[in-house]
């Protein structure tokens, strides 16, 4: 069996551990693995490289991906099917192991299915916003990175009180990541794009928190509406300075946590066994604590909103 690994869209901590596990398992059983250099763009151009297990050794826990990704929607080009089938035939590829988030799952999966190319997707994004799986690879590491930052902010916030601290997290259009961090770190408020709050209410709540606790710590998702206005107007309305920090891509490139390393290896093992058993398409999902194969497509539909009860608990609503 020969598998080509493709990383598509945003990378996430845990990918390297998953590649390492899959490639080692394949090598042990006498199977071959190659990696696409540049996501589907690289694959379509036949840019494939062997996985060098020795050089991967020191990178298994690092964020990012040893196989460069791409976000280009190259599979939607008119000649994509012919080019992909030619690459698959020329390199004698039996199946594709894909790492990707919602976009890859929604768009690449159905196309590969229609073109008869066996594939499995490992849902991979720090955002944890893919319908049909409880967990996406990389989320825990991104949370842990943010929690470290929260602790740093808290130290200085308590040492020099009287301010509002806002910490912006990645998360694309969804607030799952911000809510998970806010809950785990005990932040005073979580601002999520799905549940915008009224500015005056927010200003007076923050004023009260600063009066009671000495400082206020707010976790804010990058897609929260009108962040600039918020940062400009709250100090005026509350009469308190805001100190703003954004985690940015440092968060996505965080080292992989123990949980992500384990999930990565579990997902790779499930995928490898599924391919050996003849899987033609599907995803490796996490449900109720178990990592398992979901053959075929996931049910369509919108991304699930963040847990409303948890959101209300965090924000004491």
Residues that bind ligand F6P (CB under 6 A): 10, 71, 101, 125-127, 170-172, 222, 252
Adjacent-strand bridge partners of 100 = 123
Distance (Å, rounded) from C-alpha 251 to C-alpha 237? 31
* Minimum CB–partner distance for residue 297 and ligand F6P (Å): 20
Catalytic residue check, 266: no
Alpha-carbon distances of 188 from 126, 149, 163, 309, 316, rounded to whole Å: 22, 15, 13, 16, 9
Q: How far apart are alpha carbons 308 and 80 in whole angstroms?
A: 41
Which residue lies nearer to ligand F6P by CB, 161 or 248? 248
The closest of 34, 35, 285 to 135, measured between CA atoms, is: 285
CB of 252 to ligand F6P, least distance (A): 5
* C-beta atoms surrounding 177 within 10 Å: 28
Taking the least distance from each CB to ligand F6P, the nearer of 88 and 126 is 126
- Report CA 83 to chain centroid distance, whole Å: 29
Tokens of 72: 């280009």
Nearer to ligand F6P, 214 or 305 (CB): 305
Residue 3 or 286: the one with the smaller Cβ distance to ligand F6P is 286
Among 127, 140, 260, 266, the active-site one is 127
Question: Can you read off the two tokens belonging to residue 181?
Answer: 């961090």
Residue/partner pairs of 199-207 with CB below 8 Å, 24 or more apart: 199/229, 199/230, 199/233, 199/234, 199/237, 200/237, 202/230, 202/234, 203/233, 203/234, 203/237, 203/238, 204/237, 204/238, 206/164, 206/234, 206/238, 206/240, 207/238, 207/239, 207/240
Q: Which is nearer to ligand F6P, 16 or 95 (CB)?
A: 16
Cβ of residue 146: shortest distance to ligand F6P, in angstroms? Answer: 12
Positions marked active-site? 127
């Amino acid at each position: 069996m020969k598998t080509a690994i493709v990383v598509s869209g945003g990378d996430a901590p845990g990918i390297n551990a998953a590649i390492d596990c899959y490639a080692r398992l394949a090598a042990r059983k006498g199977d071959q693995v190659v990696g696409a250099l540049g996501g589907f763009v690289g694959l379509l151009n036949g840019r494939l490289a062997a996985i060098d297990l020795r050089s991967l050794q020191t990178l298994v826990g690092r964020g990012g991906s040893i196989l460069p990704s791409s976000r280009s929607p190259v599979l939607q080009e008119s000649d994509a099917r012919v080019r992909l089938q030619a690459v698959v035939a020329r390199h004698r590829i039996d199946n594709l192991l894909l790492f990707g988030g919602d976009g890859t799952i929604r768009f690449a999966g159905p196309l590969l299915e229609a073109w008869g190319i066996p594939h499995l997707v490992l849902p991979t994004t720090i955002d944890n916003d893919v319908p049909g799986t409880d967990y996406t690879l990389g989320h825990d590491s991104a949370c842990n990175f943010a929690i470290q930052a929260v602790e740093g902010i808290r130290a200085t916030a308590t040492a020099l009180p009287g301010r509002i601290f806002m910490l912006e997290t990645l998360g694309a259009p969804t607030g799952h990541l911000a809510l998970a961090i806010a809950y785990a770190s005990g932040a005073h408020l979580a601002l999520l794009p799905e549940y915008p709050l009224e500015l005056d209410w927010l200003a007076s709540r923050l004023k009260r928190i600063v009066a009671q606790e000495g400082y206020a710590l707010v976790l804010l998702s990058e897609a929260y509406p009108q962040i600039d206005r918020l940062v400009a107007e709250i100090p005026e309305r509350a009469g308190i300075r805001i100190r703003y920090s954004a985690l940015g891509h440092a968060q996505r490139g965080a080292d992989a946590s123990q949980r992500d390393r384990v999930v990565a290896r579990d997902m790779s093992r499930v995928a490898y066994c599924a391919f050996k058993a003849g899987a033609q398409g599907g995803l490796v999902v996490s449900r109720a604590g178990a990592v398992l194969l979901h053959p075929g497509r996931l049910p369509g539909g919108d991304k699930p909103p963040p847990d409303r009860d948890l959101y209300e608990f965090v924000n004491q609503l």
